[in-house]
Chain A
Amino acid sequence: MSPFRLLVQRDLRLALRQGGDAAMVVGFFVLATILFPFGVGPEPALLQRIAAGILWVTALLAALLSLERLFQADWEDGSLEALALMPLPLEAQVLAKCLAHWLVTGLPLIVAAPLLGLLLNLDAAGYPALLAGLLLGTPTLSLIGAVGAALSLGARRGGVLLSLLVLPLYIPVLIFGVGAIEASIGGFAARPHLLLLGALLAGALPLSPLAAAAALRQALE
Chain B
Amino acid sequence: MPAPPPPPLPAIGFAATGLACRRGERLVFAGLSFLLAPGEALLLTGPNGSGKSSLLRLMAGLARPEAGLLAWDGAAVGDDPAAHRARLHFIGHQEAVKPVLTVAETLAFWAGMRGGGDVAAALGRFRLETLADWPCRMLSAGQRRRLALARLAASPAPLWLLDEPTTALDSDALADLLEAIAAHRAQGGRVALSTHAALPLAGATNLSLADFTP
Contacts and interface: CB of A to CB of B under 8 A. Distances in A.
Contacts of A89: 82
A7 B98 CA distance: 13
A85 B115 contact: no
Contact of A78 (B82, B93, B109, B114): B93
Contacts of B112: 1, 3, 6
B198 interface: no
B105 to A, nearest CB: 8
Interface string B53-93: 00000001111100000000000000000100110101011
Contacts of A220: 62-63
Contacts of A6: 109, 112-113
**What range describes how many residues of B lie at the interface?**
20 to 34
Interface size class for chain A? 20 to 34
Interface string A1-12: 101001100100
B110 interface: yes
A221 B64 contact: yes
Given A6-B112, A86-B85, A87-B82, A81 B92 contact: yes
Contact of B92 (A3, A7, A78): A78
A13 B100 CA distance: 9
Interface in B114-140: 114-115
A86 B88 CA distance: 9
A79 B62 contact: no
A1 B82 CA distance: 20
A43 interface: no
Contacts of B86: 87
A65 to B, nearest CB: 20
Contacts of B115: 3, 87
Given A7-B113, A13-B101, A14-B101, A85 B85 contact: yes
B170 interface: no
Nearest to B105: A13
Interface in A2-56: 3, 6-7, 10, 13-14, 17-18
A85 B101 CA distance: 21
B95 interface: yes
B178 to A, nearest CB: 23
B180 interface: no
Contacts of A77: 94-98
A109 B30 CA distance: 54
A17 to B, nearest CB: 4
Contacts of B60: 85
Nearest to A221: B63
A14 B98 CA distance: 8
A181 to B, nearest CB: 39
B109 A10 contact: yes
A83 B112 CA distance: 12
A82 B96 contact: yes
B100 A18 contact: yes
B61 A79 contact: no
Contacts of B93: 78
A211 B85 CA distance: 20
9 contacts: A13-B101, A13-B105, A17-B100, A17-B101, A77-B94, A77-B98, A86-B113, A87-B82, A87-B115
Interface of A: 1, 3, 6-7, 10, 13-14, 17-18, 77-79, 81-89, 220-221
